Structure 1
């Protein structure tokens, strides 16, 4: 479990770095959408290499999957394009703050209702309080030290 937590911590650290790097690339080339295309090309190459190394046979089972499962690709495209466009004008911290707030809220709903085949974890009063504290902590990071 600690290995899983470490990987997810690294992924979490990577999100604002991704936002800052891709926002800068988009600003430098004058095209946030073009920067998104470059990001996806690099990501596709990396995912392709990992797939080849870990089990390319899984790709053969794609045809039998429900179409709604492919919406995840649209969601990641929306995230990358929106953060690349908005971060330079709104600030990386502000943009990521709202991303994290959205993640906390949607994760709680997905867990509570067991949506999309996720393990069901009821939203208890204690858990809701913890999520509220997380949201308050996120908000404080944007308020403290601001003029």
Structure 2
């Protein structure tokens, strides 16, 4: 669980939907490692996002179809989708976290509230720019999976 500030200014995001990262994106190679690392988290399976563009990859829980509470999924009322990784032309991640934790990550510069969040638990996490950031972002993704459980 990181408490390290993200160095530098925040990336620029789109003003209109879908919410996407426009600057400071991951390289294609780093994005591939982000996706592989996210899929290596125990108890998740990859699928098509129910709420994000087709280039996004959703993480679903292997052992849970229905969310334990609506604020733990990006697609409440459907198969529980706590995380989706946006495509290589974006590289940010949408995920759900406890509101207090998301606020801490926002203050540290790693994330900001989802443009279209309904529960105050939906956040956009910026795509990692290097190996150090990759490890931190994968830790945040793991936190989201644990929150959904």
Smaller-chain TM-score range?
Answer: under 0.3
Structure with more of its chain in helix, by fraction: 1
Q: Which has the larger radius of gyration?
A: 1
Give the TM-score of the pair, scaled to structure 1: 0.26
